[in-house]
Amino acid sequence: MRESSASANGSFTSAMTLIEEGLTYVPKRYVLPPSLRPDGTLCNTCLPIVDLSNRQHPLLRSQIIQDVHLACKKFGFFQVVNHGIPLSVMDNAIHAASEFFDLPTQDKRHLLTSNVCDPVRYGTSLNHVKDKVHFWRDFLKHYANPTSTWIDLWPSNPKCYKKKMVNYTMAAQKLQEGLMEVIFESLGLNTNYLHEDIAEGSQVMAVNCYPACPEPDLTLGLPPHTDYGMISIILQNHQGLQIMGQDEKWHSVPLIEGALTVLLGDHMEVLTNGIYKSVVHRATVNSEKKRISIVSLHSLTLGKKVRPASALVNEQNILSYKEGGFSDFLDFISGEDIVEAKYIDTLKINT
């Protein structure tokens, strides 16, 4: 259900609008409790980078499998280079996203909604109607796989958006299918495990804009959270993504030209019966640059459930998770505050 600019919490105001109005401070609704604010303390651990150039090489593939296994086990995260998506396709997607957020609010208002089930959704913060504390982010989310089903619902303004974003979206879907094979192989599963379900699965593009913020130490672009799906593939134009390591310290994800970031989600944790864990991450903001990130979120289709792979359940690794799906996650965020509640906790079996 689409909304007018008026909402249950008053008129809609995007983070971009605040900057365009020349705001020199962070409004009270964006100021986080001291315990949630970024304090600048970061760990300098070297984060894993996986070179996919030899993914199909019969002798060198085993090293890639080992690298992915270690990265998933230790971090739930890795960056990929030589992944096959041209830099021009990635740059064009960032450019199209930036142009969309630069549009006047009235040109985006028809996409404004707080209904998490809508296939195309423009908004600010997490959910501008429900949020107790707001986050310094504007977003556009739209379903993507298969693109032939959804592309007509995507924004037509700017004119370049559909063409540039569809090229990246389809490339990200193809990359995800290959990454899932590598991840499954790293678990000892057949590379064709869930092959059709993965190829036909849900892909949601979360296109995020984090405008330059006058007081970045008081707020965040996104709070600490895990993604719901199997994996998320992140393209960003500036640094700002941070992950929490097993040491419970924040690690800043470096910006590497041409690299993409891969995060494991809650459904991957379920499928692996906890062998791999979803990674807690957050988005910080800065006072100098507008940051764009494009997150390709992958899960099984809306009506399908993910359950622990039977080969990964045994006496040493007892069944620890219930089945869950994309529709369950939508139900969860419709009724819960993700700042205070975790979706993955609803899937754990208490033993």
pLDDT tens for 278-329 read: 999 999 999 999 999 999 999 999 889 999 999 999 999 999 999 999 889 9
3-state secondary structure of 15: helix
Residue 6 included in any domain: no
**Residue 69: pLDDT over 50:** yes
**In this structure, which amino acid lies at residue 167?**
N
**Residue 5: pLDDT over 80:** no
Average pLDDT, the chain: 92
The DSSP letter of residue 176 is H
Q: Tens digits of per-residue pLDDT, 180-197?
A: 999 999 999 999 999 999
Residue 308 included in any domain: yes
Domain tally for the chain? 1
3-state secondary structure of 192: coil
User: In terms of Cα–Cα distance, which of 334, 333, 293, 340 is closest to 137?
Assistant: 293
Distance between CA atoms of residues 338 and 125, nearest Å = 12
Say what percent of the chain tops pLDDT 70: 96
For the chain, the residue count is: 351
Q: Which pLDDT score, from 0 to 100, does residue 6 have? A: 34
- Other CB atoms closer than 10 Å to residue 31's CB: what's the count? 16
Q: Which pLDDT score, from 0 to 100, does residue 340 have? A: 73
Q: Which pLDDT score, from 0 to 100, does residue 90 have? A: 98
Answer positive or negative: Cα dihedral of 157, 333, 338, 26.
positive
Confidence class of residue 4 from pLDDT cuts 50, 70 and 90? very low
**Residue 338: pLDDT over 80:** no
Distance between CA atoms of residues 147 and 163, nearest Å = 11
Distance between CA atoms of residues 290 and 216, nearest Å = 12
Residues ≥6 apart with Cβ < 8 Å to 22? none
Q: How far is CA 278 from CA 17, 91, 192, 197, 266, in A?
A: 34, 28, 22, 20, 5
Per the DSSP assignment, residues forming a β-bridge with 10 are 7
Residue 8 included in any domain: no
3-state secondary structure of 31: coil
Residues ≥6 apart with Cβ < 8 Å to 45? 245, 247, 251
User: In terms of Cα–Cα distance, which of 160, 130, 127, 158 is closest to 141?
Assistant: 127
Q: What is the CATH number of the domain that holds 84?
A: 2.60.120.330
Mean pLDDT value of segment 12-17: 92
Distance between CA atoms of residues 193 and 212, nearest Å = 43
Residue 299 included in any domain: yes
Q: Which pLDDT score, from 0 to 100, does residue 334 have? A: 79
Phi, psi of 326 (to 5 degrees): -60, -40
Residue 197 included in any domain: yes
Distance between CA atoms of residues 4 and 298, nearest Å = 30
3-state secondary structure of 123: strand
Confidence class of residue 39 from pLDDT cuts 50, 70 and 90? confident
Q: Which pLDDT score, from 0 to 100, does residue 224 have? A: 94
Segment among 33-47, 111-125, 225-239, 270-284 with least mean pLDDT = 33-47
Residues ≥6 apart with Cβ < 8 Å to 153? 119, 120, 142, 143
Residue 211 included in any domain: yes
3-state secondary structure of 53: coil
**Residue 351: pLDDT over 70:** no
Mean pLDDT value of segment 22-51: 90
Segment among 46-55, 65-74, 122-131, 315-324 with least mean pLDDT = 122-131
Distance between CA atoms of residues 14 and 239, nearest Å = 22
User: In terms of Cα–Cα distance, which of 325, 327, 318 is closest to 274?
Assistant: 318
Residue 3 included in any domain: no
Q: Tens digits of per-residue pLDDT, 213-250?
A: 999 999 999 999 999 999 999 999 999 999 999 888 99
- Expressed as residue numbers, the domain containing 127 is 15-347
Per the DSSP assignment, residues forming a β-bridge with 232 are 263, 297
Mean pLDDT value of segment 64-68: 96
Q: Which pLDDT score, from 0 to 100, does residue 63 have? A: 95
Instruction: Enter the tokens of residue 285.
Output: 């903001």
- Other CB atoms closer than 10 Å to residue 322's CB: what's the count? 15
Q: How far is CA 160 from CA 78, 92, 234, in A?
A: 31, 9, 21
Q: Quote the pTM value.
A: 0.94
Residue 339 included in any domain: yes
